[in-house]
């Protein structure tokens, strides 16, 4: 007898990044010398303060349920952080702590989106946005720029808004392109959302991971009442603590935060006790680790761009932040899924196909790994694509053979 699964389950695709991660991990576990340039987590160790606080808490042997929307200590740390970086003081009833920025965003969508409501966001976009919007019953509206490159202007976004639009969602700097939206872009979108009474969600998970002295524009600088503004963030990328699973959402709209809290209380109940302690300690501790991380990532980015320049016909815009680059490989293969598959099979290099981010012909290449891996990965990609290169190369005692 076959069991029928729900339409929701059948219509939701796997996260392509997590899929590539597990494939690369499986190959590595089987002893293959895989270079992983597909990942979304810095290899940087967790801040010492977070580790010590977690150990201390664990030693009490009291690891219990926590208040559903977050402990007062962690909420206070998030509110201090928000005031420091956004210049606006929120109250504890205006913040919810969740299992990662992803759950914070998902709670928001479940709380705000009615069936058929449109959620507008620039393309290329983070792979999870369309599926998350669909799971909430909404319609994702991906907006491509009207120019020739990948750049999406505020005008492009505003033009895509219809009476059904409930949310505009912006991620700056952007996964996958690493581009920061300009002050003018953020100003226009913030003011528009406020005037039109549309939610503006800023997915700010990378907002401090910026290079060359650049800054991500502060949406609060342009939001008079900020009643439609929802800021999402977390500790995953900021402190390299993806495994802690702590993120948050902040909004003036207390009813929204309360609704998100009800959804969370009936789904996950609360966050991990140890995780909340670790996140609070990281937020309250010495922040020099963030500068160190940015410095390392900027160096990695420069190494990656240097290596990319050795591959003819590959085009890339210099990332201003994150730890991703989005490279146009369409000269070699317009089918990015096929190309990513080819590179994994032949060169044992994991990258993520651009089509998952809404841009066919591109590959997302991460530079959160160490420099040697970046150089080796790009060397293998160059070899796999160069028709004049030898058909075989030796990697340790492994022979790689390309088409
Ligand atoms: C744009 C964006 N938002 C949110 C997240 C999720 O972060 P978290 O680990 O806090 O759930 C990611 C992770 O890759 C991301 O790239």
> Where along the chain do its domains lie?
7-45+288-401, 63-284
pLDDT in tens, 103-156: 999 999 999 999 999 999 999 999 999 999 999 999 999 999 987 788 999 999
pLDDT in tens, 373-398: 999 999 999 999 999 999 999 888 88
Alpha-helical (H) ranges within 324-365 are 336-347
* Residue-level pLDDT at 1: 67
Shortest-distance Cα residue to atom 14 of ligand 1: 40
Report the atom number in ligand 1 closest to the C-alpha of 203. Answer: 3
Confidence of residue 80 (pLDDT cuts 50, 70, 90): very high
Report the atom number in ligand 1 closest to the C-alpha of 246. Answer: 10
pLDDT in tens, 360-373: 999 999 999 899 99
- The rounded distance, in Å, linking the Cα atoms of 207 and 229 is 16
Helix (H) or strand (E) holding 249: strand 247-251
Strands 35-36 and 139-143: unpaired
pLDDT in tens, 250-276: 999 999 999 999 999 999 999 999 999
Structure-block tokens of residue 152: 């999406």
Structure-block tokens of residue 193: 């959302």
Q: Would you say the CB of residue 171 lies under 6 angstroms from ligand 1? A: yes
Whether the upstream peptide bond of residue 124 has omega within 30° of 0, thus cis, is yes
Ligand 1 mean position, distance from CA 371 (Å): 23
pLDDT in tens, 164-201: 999 999 999 999 999 999 999 999 999 999 999 999 99
In the CATH scheme, what is the code of domain 7-45+288-401?
3.90.1150.10
* Residue-level pLDDT at 150: 86
| Position 308 pLDDT exceeds 80 | yes
Q: Would you say the CB of residue 126 lies under 6 angstroms from ligand 1? A: yes
Q: Would you say the CB of residue 203 lies under 6 angstroms from ligand 1? A: yes
Ligand 1 mean position, distance from CA 298 (Å): 20
Ligand 1 mean position, distance from CA 102 (Å): 6
* Residue-level pLDDT at 312: 95
Query: Strand, coil or helix: what is 245?
Result: coil
* Residue-level pLDDT at 18: 73
Fold observed for domain 63-284: 3.40.640
- The rounded distance, in Å, linking the Cα atoms of 260 and 99 is 13
* Residue-level pLDDT at 24: 85
Closest to 66 measured CA to CA, from 39, 34, 92, 98? 98
Q: Would you say the CB of residue 234 lies under 6 angstroms from ligand 1? A: yes
Q: Would you say the CB of residue 330 lies under 6 angstroms from ligand 1? A: no
* Residue-level pLDDT at 127: 93
Residue 91: count of CB within 10 angstroms of its CB: 12
Q: What's the average model confidence in pLDDT over 16-43?
A: 85
Report the atom number in ligand 1 closest to the C-alpha of 101. Answer: 10
Residues in Cβ contact with 29 at an 8 Å cutoff, skipping those fewer than 6 apart: none
Report the atom number in ligand 1 closest to the C-alpha of 99. Answer: 11
Q: Would you say the CB of residue 122 lies under 6 angstroms from ligand 1? A: no
Ligand 1 mean position, distance from CA 175 (Å): 9
Ligand 1 mean position, distance from CA 384 (Å): 31
Mean pLDDT of the chain: 95
* Residue-level pLDDT at 256: 98
* Residue-level pLDDT at 21: 77
């Amino acid at each position: 007898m076959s069991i029928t699964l729900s339409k929701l389950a059948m219509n939701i695709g796997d996260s392509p990044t997590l899929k590539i991660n597990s494939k690369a991990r499986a190959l590595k576990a089987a002893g293959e010398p895989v270079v992983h340039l597909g990942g979304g987590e810095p290899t940087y160790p967790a801040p010492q303060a977070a580790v010590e606080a977690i150990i201390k808490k664990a030693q009490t042997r009291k690891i219990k349920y926590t208040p559903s929307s977050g402990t007062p200590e962690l909420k206070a740390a998030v509110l201090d952080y928000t005031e420091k970086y956004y210049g606006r003081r929120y109250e504890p009833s205006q913040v919810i702590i969740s299992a990662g920025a992803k759950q914070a965003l998902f709670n928001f969508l479940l709380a705000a989106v009615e069936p058929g409501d449109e959620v507008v966001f620039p393309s290329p976009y983070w792979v999870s946005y369309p599926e998350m919007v669909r799971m909430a019953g909404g319609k994702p509206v991906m907006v491509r720029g009207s120019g020739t490159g990948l750049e999406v202007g505020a005008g492009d976004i505003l033009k895509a808004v219809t009476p059904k639009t409930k949310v505009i969602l912006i991620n700056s700097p952007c996964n996958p392109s690493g581009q920061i939206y300009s002050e003018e872009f953020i100003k226009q979108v913030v003011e528009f959302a406020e005037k039109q009474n549309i939610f503006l969600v800023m997915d700010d998970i990378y907002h401090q991971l910026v290079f060359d002295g650049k800054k991500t524009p502060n949406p609060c600088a342009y939001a008079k009442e900020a009643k439609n503004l929802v800021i999402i963030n977390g500790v995953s990328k900021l402190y390299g603590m993806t495994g802690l699973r702590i993120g948050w959402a902040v909004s003036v709209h207390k009813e929204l935060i309360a609704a998100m809290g009800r959804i969370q209380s009936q789904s996950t109940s609360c966050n991990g006790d140890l995780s909340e302690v670790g996140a609070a300690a990281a937020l309250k501790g010495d922040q020099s680790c963030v500068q160190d991380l940015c410095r390392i990532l900027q160096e990695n980015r420069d190494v990656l761009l240097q290596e990319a320049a050795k591959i003819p016909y590959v085009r890339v815009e210099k990332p201003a932040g994150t730890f991703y680059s989005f490279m146009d490989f369409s000269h070699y293969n317009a089918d990015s899924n096929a190309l990513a598959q080819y590179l994994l099979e032949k060169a044992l290099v994991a990258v993520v196909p651009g089509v998952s981010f809404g841009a066919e012909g591109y590959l997302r290449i991460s530079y959160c790994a160490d420099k040697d891996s970046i150089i080796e990965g790009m060397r293998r990609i160059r070899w796999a694509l160069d028709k004049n290169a030898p058909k075989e190369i030796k990697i340790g005692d492994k022979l790689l053979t390309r088409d």
